[in-house]
Structure 1
Amino acid sequence: MTKSKLAILLLLISGNLIATPLQANEALFRLLQERSCNGCKLADTDLVHADLRDADLNKAQLQRANLSRANMDGANLSGADLSFTSLKGASLRGANLKGAKLYGTDFRESDLTGAQLDINALEEAHWRGAKGITSQVQSHAALHNAGVSAAKGESWRQAEDLFSKAIKKKPDIAESWVARAITREKLGKRKLAIKDFNYASELFEAQGMILPAQQLEAAAIALQDKENKNETGNGAGSALLSGLISTSKALIPIAMKLFMPALGLSF
């Protein structure tokens, strides 16, 4: 074993990085020594807090690897397989993630400022709390479902922001308007909630869905009455909607879309 490889092994041990037998660790040594390992097989590797700035990992196999809190600013991860890889809290500023497989990848609390990503690349990844994500890489469904998760956790301000972004993506999806109305009512923004309920009602009516349109219009009127009477307290919108759902099966599909994230995704 060369002195340089021995030094890297000592670094691995001192840094609490789990190393497999040396024969199977050539790729890891190469990566840490040369910062370049195209197509390397690094699945299940533990590289917590690793310094991999500007590393070349083009088409690397990093499935299930633990790269939490790693510094990967400027790294080339194009075409890499990052399925179920943990990048929680990692810094990926300016990293190239074009063509990377991001199924189940954990980007929570990471920094993706300036990172290059494919359109809708984060559709099947976990990214709640990540920084620097542009709307281009987030689909309407991902934004809406993330808003649902935030609402379920009673993070109403975050939910409102996510539903607003979802609406910007697809302004003709009534469910997102209803969802935002509920979050705004929770935040005490009744006038804005009323507008959202009314607009959602118009969208349903335009689709020929008269019953839900009428029910949402009724919810808006009830909120307006509460506003006119200057009554205090939040929660009327969600309470009204819950009551409407209990009396009409027509709104059950809407409720499912509002409060059930897509299967397999947890933001």
Structure 2
Amino acid sequence: MIFNINNDHKIDIDKLLAIAKQAGAGILKVYNDDPENSSVTYKADESPLTLADSVSHQIIAAGLAALTPEIPLLSEEGKNIPYEERKAWDYYWCVDPLDGTKEFIKRNGEFTVNIALIYKDKPVLGVIYVPVTGIMYFGGSKIGSWKIAADGGVKHLFLSPKIDNWTAVGSRTHSSDEEAALLAKYNVTNIISAGSSLKFCMIAEGSAQVYYRHGPTMEWDTAAGHAIAIYSGAYMAMPNGEPFVYNKPSLLNSSFICSISRVIAE
């Protein structure tokens, strides 16, 4: 499958997915070789950082540089790019080499590799790979959203908004009273938890209908999942209904809602 950026530039999706798999293999090597997670350090904000984050970043950075040398990279592990420089970017890669580091440390398998292509302020292509299960999700403008099972089976993800009883999905490590208050306004009959960007994948494949995050995330936390969700037919916006955008002066995100139909937190 080919993703057309413009008349002069195209991305081979198979090669992009292969980069995500290679990064996942690098993560699993650390995961399996370091059962005590002795390589964990902590950033200034006390969020954890593992050797696997660095290994994955290096694999993805090298792979994307070879695949699309003309497109700059913004990664959690290489994020110190001044806004004055990146504001001129039309396209750029937005990458979280290991989303769900806390899940990695807990060893519950719910961590992912996230790679997204942003055009100006909107994700136009997203890839999420789950190293432990071998499941791949991807979605993009004009190609739709897809799931590739570990055995190679391919499924087109396309949502139906006509569901009466909703399941809400939320974070395993971040929740709030505001989230509970919003869900109480709608016909949510079940609430489940999941780590990392898997919550967006659950929206895209229809196993959950709403994901509300109250509180900050970073752009690389959401970009790939945002793409996969919206190109499956989901809706994503800020709680007041305003667009959820990227390449902001601050890379910190506000709250958001991702759901199978328009939901506004009044």
TM-score (norm 2): 0.22
Query: Which protein is richer in strand relative to its size?
Result: 2
Greater relative CO, 1 or 2 (CA 8 Å, sep 6+): 2
TM-score (norm 1): 0.22
Query: Which protein is richer in helix relative to its size?
Result: 1
